[in-house]
Structure 1
Amino acid sequence: MITRFCSKKYFFLFCLFIFPFITAQKKFTIVLDAGHGGNDHGAARKYDGLGYIAEKDITLSVVLKIGRMLERDKDFKVIYTRKTDVYPSLTERTNLANRSKADLFISVHVNASHKTAPYGTETFVQGPDQNKTNLEVAKAENDVIFLDAQDRATFASYDPTSPESLIALKLQQSKYLESSLVFGGMVEDNFVNKDKRFSRGVKQQNLHVLRMNAMPSVLIELGFVSNYDEAQYLASDKGQNESAESIYNAILSYKKARDKKSGSEIAAKETVKPKEQPLKNDFRILLMSTPIKYNYGDPIFKGLNYILPIKENNIYKYYYSVSNFASIRDANLKTARDAGFKNAYAVGFVPDQALSNGHYTLELYVGKDKLSSDSYILKSLKDTKREKVSGLFYYTYGNVKTLEEIVQIQKALEEKGIKNSVIQKVSK
C-alpha cells in the first residue's frame, strides 16, 4: 500500500512539473493543401513557348516551398494534404485538418477565366454566396466533389441555396471568420506590396474545401493561368518562389498577431462578433481629385502603396486599395485619413463591368512638344494616338471596355519600360 501510494504521489508531482512544459511547447499547426492533383489537373492551358501548364503542378510546387520554409522553424508543425501528384478527396482534406486540430488551413489554387484579360490574386474565406462575380470560382473549385465517391456521399444532401444550409453555415463559420479575414488580408497585402502584383481583394464564397473546417481557413488564388503573362509568371521559379514567400511571411505575421492575445480573448472576440457579409461592389478609397498629374511613389501619397490613378474629364482621381468587405474598406479609409487625406472617402466599383457609354484608354504623355519619331513610346507602340488640345499634345494607347482590361494593358507596358501612364475614362 505504501509503495503504491508513493508511486502515485511521484507520478502526480512529475505530471505537475512536466505539464506546463508540454503545453508551452505546443506548436502552431498549419495544414497546407495543394489544390487538385492526380487525374484532376485543375485549371490548365497550353502555350507556345511555355508548354502545358496545369494548376495541380503549380499548387504543389508552391505548397512544398511554403512547407520547407515553415519546417525550418521549430514553432510550426506542417501537415500536407498531398506531397505528390495524387488526388485526396475534399472530405479527406478537411477531415485531416480537423483531426490535426490545426490552427490554420491554407488551400492554394490557380484561377482561370474564359477570357484572357482577367488577372491578379485573390483570397477567399468561407461564406454564403453574395457576390455573383465570385460564382465562377465557386463552381470551378466545388465541381471536383463529383470526382470522389466519398465526397458525393458527404455533400449529397447539402443544398447551399437553402435557408437551413445558410443558417448552419453562419453558425459554424462565424467563430473563425474574423481570423480568416485577417490572414487573407495579410496574404493579399504581401502580394501587392512585396511582389507588386494586382490584388482582386479578399472575398467571401461558399467553397466546400473550407466549409467543413473547424479553424481559420482560406483559399488563395495565385493568379490566372488563362492570362499568358500570369501563366508565364506562375510557371516560373521566380513566380512560385515569390508567391510562396508572400504566403509564408503572412503566416509569420498572423501568428505574431495571434500570440499577442490570450487564447481566451481571441475566442471571446470571435464568438461574439457578428459574421461579416461581403458587399456587392468592390470599394476603393478616393484620396484626392486634382488637375495635377503625380507619378507613382510621389511623396504626396505619404508612403501609401497600391495607388490607382484614373483620369476623368481632365481631372486625375487617385484611388487607394480595394476590398468588398466593409471592415477592410473602413480600415483602408482610416489608413488614408491617418496619412493626411482627411477628405478621403470610399467609392464603389462593380467588378468586370463594361462601360456602356465610353471606354478606357491609357494616357502615355502630355506636353507642349510633340514626341520625336524615334521616341521609345512611338517605336514600341505603333497604334499610339496623338491629339492636340489647348496647346498641349496628348498621346494615348488602347481602347477597352473594362477597368480590369486597361489595368492589364498598363501592366504590360510597364514591363516594356513605359511607366507612369494614367488610366483615362473616356465618355462618348
Structure 2
Amino acid sequence: MIISRFNILKCFFLISLLFSTFGFAQKKFVLVLDAGHGGSDFGANRGYSDIGRVNEKDITLAITLKLGKLLEKNKDIKVIYTRTTDEYPSLTARTNLANRNKADLFISIHCNANDRSSPYGTETFVQGPDQNKTNLEVAKEENDVIFLNAEDKKTFSSYDPNSPESLIALKIQQSKYLEASLTLGSLVEDNFANKDKRLSRGVKQKNLHVLRLNAMPSILIETGFISNYDEAHYLVSEAGQNEIAQSIYDAIISYKNLKGNISTAETKPEEPKQPAEVPSKNDFRILLMSTPVKYDEGDPAFKGLNYILTIKENGLYKYYYSTTNMASIRDNNLKTAKDAGFRNAYAVGFIPNQTLGTGYYRIELAATKDKLSSNSYILNTLKGVDRNKEKGIFYYTYGKYNSLEQAVENQKDLEKRGIKNTVIEKVLK
C-alpha cells in the first residue's frame, strides 16, 4: 500500500494533537527559585565603610535572577520565581507556589551572619528533624520571619518541630525526598569547594519552615557570611554573584542528568529506588578536640563552626560539633569539620536519653582564679550553687542530671536567664 506524503504529515499532526490535548507531551523540569527574605524583611545585614549597607534580601534576589537567567536557556526547564522584586512573599505562599506547580525542585537562596565571630564559607540545608533542639530555636535566623506575615503566623503558630507527633510526621513526609535533596546539596557544595575554591561547611539537616511543607526535593543554600568582611565584598560583587549562580546552575544540571528528567509516574514508569535511609538509634556528634582549655561560644578556636556542645570529662573539655541521627548527615558533618581544619575529628554515637548507671551530669557555671563576689549575678540568680577549688581555680557548678538531654535543656534555660558560656560536666563516681 502506498501512503502519500500528505497522509503521513496528517498522521503526525493528529498524533501531536493527541499528545498536547491529553497531556502526553514531555513534562518540563519545573524548578522553583526562592530569593530569601524581601520587602520589610531585610534578612542579615551589615554596614561597611567602603561598600555601605549590605542586605541579605538584595544579594539573594540578585543571585536568584542570575541563576534563573542561566536556567531559562534550557528549553526543557521551566523556572518559577517566588519573587522577582523587593517584596516579601509569605513562607506559606512560597511553599504553596511550589506544590501547586508540582515542582521537581525547590531551591531557596540565603546568606549567613554571625554576631560573635567572623566565620566564613557556604553550607546547604535539607529539611529534617533535629531532635536535640527545641521549639523554633533551630535555624531561628530564618524562622523568625514567620511572624512578619499573618498567614504564616496562623499556619505555624501551633507547630512544634520537636514534639513526637511533628517528628513522626516530618520523617514520613520528608523521607521520600531526603535522598534527592542530599544529592543536590552535595553537588552544590562540591562546586563551591572545587570550582570556586571556597570553604564548604557541608550539607546539613535542620527544621527550616520554608522547606517543611514542600512535596519535592528542596534545599536552602547559605551562600556566605555577610558578617565576614571578605565574604560580604564577594557576595555584593557582580563576579561573586555570577560565580555562585554558575556553581548552583552546574549542580542542577548534573542533578537533572543524574536523576533523568524526573518525570511524574503518569508520564514515565518509576525506576527501582534505593530504600530510604533509616534513622539511627544513636545521635551522632563530631568530636573536634579534647583539651584542658575552656573556649567560649564563637571563639576562633572553632574555626567558624557553630552548634558546638561542650562536655567536660576527667578535667578535659570535649567539643562536639552538630548532631544528627542520619548516617549520611553524620558523614557530611565530619567532612565539614575536617574541611574546617579539624583533621583528627571523628564521629561519636550517643544513645538518646540514656541514664548514667553511675555518676551524673552537672553544669559548670564558671571557672575563675578569684571567688565570685556575693552580689554576683550567678549567685543571686541561682540557689544551690556549689563551689570547689582545684589547683588554684574556683569551679562553680549547678544541678544534678541523669541524662545528657536533661543537662542540655537546663543549660538552655540558664542561657535564657542570662547565664551564658556554661559547660556540661560529666561526673563519674
Matches within 5 A, 1:149-298: 149-259=150-260, 269=273, 272-276=275-279, 280-282=284-286
TM-score, length-scaled by structure 2: 0.61
Alpha-carbon distance between aligned partners in 2 of 1:346 and 1:230, rounded to the nearest angstrom: 26
Go from structure 1 to structure 2 and tell me whether the alpha carbon gap of 1:205 and 1:35 turns closer, same or farther (over 3 Å shift): same
Alpha-carbon contact 1:130-1:280 (below 8 Å) kept: no
Alpha-carbon distance between aligned partners in 2 of 1:205 and 1:332, rounded to the nearest angstrom: 12
Q: CA deviation at 1:45?
A: 0.2
For 1:85, what is the secondary structure of its paired residue? Answer: coil
Partner residue in 2 for 1:103: 104
Alpha-carbon distance between aligned partners in 2 of 1:172 and 1:225, rounded to the nearest angstrom: 33
How big is each residue's C-alpha offset from its partner over 1:278-317, in whole Å with a ceiling of 9 and x where there is no partner?
9643489xxxxxxxxxxxxxxxxxxxxxxxxxxxxxxxxx
Partner residue in 1 for 2:77: 76
Go from structure 1 to structure 2 and tell me whether the alpha carbon gap of 1:218 and 1:275 turns closer, same or farther (over 3 Å shift): farther
Alpha-carbon distance between aligned partners in 2 of 1:68 and 1:262, rounded to the nearest angstrom: 23
Alpha-carbon distance between aligned partners in 1 of 2:253 and 2:327, rounded to the nearest angstrom: 25
Alpha-carbon contact 1:116-1:228 (below 8 Å) kept: no
TM-score, length-scaled by structure 1: 0.61
**How many residues end up aligned between the 2 structures?**
295
Alignment partner of 1:139 is 2:140: yes
CA RMSD after TM alignment: 3.7
Go from structure 1 to structure 2 and tell me whether the alpha carbon gap of 1:329 and 1:81 turns closer, same or farther (over 3 Å shift): same
Q: CA deviation at 1:94?
A: 0.2
How big is each residue's C-alpha offset from its partner over 1:316-343, in whole Å with a ceiling of 9 and x where there is no partner?
xxxxxx997633766999xxxxxxxxxx
How big is each residue's C-alpha offset from its partner over 1:37-59, in whole Å with a ceiling of 9 and x where there is no partner?
00100000001112100000000
Q: CA deviation at 1:161?
A: 1.8
Alpha-carbon contact 1:283-1:329 (below 8 Å) kept: no
For 1:269, what is the secondary structure of its paired residue? Answer: coil
For structure 1, which runs of at least 5 residues remain unmatched after alignment? 1-9, 285-321, 334-343, 351-428
Go from structure 1 to structure 2 and tell me whether the alpha carbon gap of 1:261 and 1:86 turns closer, same or farther (over 3 Å shift): closer
Go from structure 1 to structure 2 and tell me whether the alpha carbon gap of 1:52 and 1:345 turns closer, same or farther (over 3 Å shift): closer
Alpha-carbon distance between aligned partners in 1 of 2:144 and 2:279, rounded to the nearest angstrom: 26
Q: CA deviation at 1:27?
A: 0.7
For 2:346, the aligned partner's letter is V
Q: CA deviation at 1:75?
A: 0.9
Q: CA deviation at 1:202?
A: 0.3
Alpha-carbon contact 1:279-1:326 (below 8 Å) kept: no
For 2:46, the aligned partner's letter is R
How big is each residue's C-alpha offset from its partner over 1:187-223, in whole Å with a ceiling of 9 and x where there is no partner?
0000000000101110000011000100000000001
Q: CA deviation at 1:105?
A: 0.1
Matches within 5 A, 1:313-324: none
Alpha-carbon distance between aligned partners in 2 of 1:166 and 1:323, rounded to the nearest angstrom: 15
Alignment partner of 1:53 is 2:54: yes
For 1:56, what is the secondary structure of its paired residue? Answer: helix
Alpha-carbon distance between aligned partners in 2 of 1:41 and 1:280, rounded to the nearest angstrom: 35
Alpha-carbon distance between aligned partners in 2 of 1:171 and 1:223, rounded to the nearest angstrom: 31
Go from structure 1 to structure 2 and tell me whether the alpha carbon gap of 1:250 and 1:120 turns closer, same or farther (over 3 Å shift): same
Alpha-carbon contact 2:177-2:217 (below 8 Å) kept: yes
Alpha-carbon distance between aligned partners in 2 of 1:105 and 1:249, rounded to the nearest angstrom: 16
How big is each residue's C-alpha offset from its partner over 1:240-259, in whole Å with a ceiling of 9 and x where there is no partner?
11110000000000000011
Higher helix share: 1
Q: CA deviation at 1:115?
A: 2.2
Partner residue in 2 for 1:19: 19
For 1:123, what is the secondary structure of its paired residue? Answer: strand
Go from structure 1 to structure 2 and tell me whether the alpha carbon gap of 1:259 and 1:24 turns closer, same or farther (over 3 Å shift): farther
How big is each residue's C-alpha offset from its partner over 1:102-151, in whole Å with a ceiling of 9 and x where there is no partner?
00000000011112321110000001124669x86610111000000001
Alpha-carbon distance between aligned partners in 2 of 1:114 and 1:269, rounded to the nearest angstrom: 43
Go from structure 1 to structure 2 and tell me whether the alpha carbon gap of 1:143 and 1:164 turns closer, same or farther (over 3 Å shift): same
Partner residue in 1 for 2:346: 347
Alpha-carbon contact 1:129-1:204 (below 8 Å) kept: yes
Partner residue in 1 for 2:30: 29
Alpha-carbon contact 2:29-2:262 (below 8 Å) kept: no
Alpha-carbon contact 1:30-1:76 (below 8 Å) kept: yes
Matches within 5 A, 1:348-387: 348=347
Greater shift, 227-236 or 54-63, is seen at 227-236
Alpha-carbon contact 1:30-1:79 (below 8 Å) kept: yes
Alpha-carbon distance between aligned partners in 1 of 2:83 and 2:261, rounded to the nearest angstrom: 32
Alpha-carbon distance between aligned partners in 1 of 2:142 and 2:331, rounded to the nearest angstrom: 30
